[in-house]
Structure 1
Amino acid sequence: MNQDSTGDLTPFSIDLTFEEARRRAEVVTALGPHWDPRAALQGEDEAYALLYSGLDAEQQRVYDMLVEAGVLPGEEPGRAASH
């Protein structure tokens, strides 16, 4: 016999908007007062440029192909791969 037992369930809900705001506040607190987002982004840009500097011709060809395919991000601001 198949009996519907959904009447025995207790409703549960959570406000994800509030939880996300709380999580973000905790992240900012953990970063501390001396965290400089502009300096962090500049450091990331410098590291990215260094990572792909000095490529030989074949490496550059593969890099360009991967950027074109959206596998690697290009040089544009806010870079992110599209795939």
Structure 2
Amino acid sequence: MIDRNTSDHRIVEFDLTEHEARRRTEVVAALGDTWDPLAVMEGEADAYRLLYSDLDTEQQATYDMLVSAGVLPAPGRA
């Protein structure tokens, strides 16, 4: 922590680099050896496809409108 005083202001700076590195290490350790990021991404893509499959005409029009407005990601970009 750096504490610099000026006549009108007090400036306090924190370097969170060490904390962030420790946090990331703990997250990876908590995931364990069996975590497969590729399988997770494929599962999310499958869930997205399933969620937006078999839409009726009105639902499809709403979905297309939301994709074109950027509210939902385009197919294959989830």
Fold match (TM-score > 0.5): yes
CA shift, 1:76, in A, is 3.5
CA distance, structure 2, for counterparts of residue 29 and residue 71 of structure 1: 34
How many aligned residue pairs are there?
71
1:35 aligned partner: 35
TM-score norm. by structure 1 comes to 0.74
Q: Which has the higher contact order (CA 8 A, sep 6+)?
A: 2
Q: What do you get for the CA RMSD once the two structures are aligned?
A: 1.9
Percent identity (aligned): 60
Deviation per residue, 1:1-37 (Å, 9 max, x gap)? xxxxx88xxx854321221111111111000010000
Q: For 1:9-28, list aligned pairs within 5 A.
A: 13-28=13-28
Match of 1:76 in 2: 76
Bigger strand share: 2
Gaps of 5+ in 2: 1-5
Amino acid across the alignment from 2:56:
D
**Structure 1: which 5+ residue stretches go unaligned?**
1-5
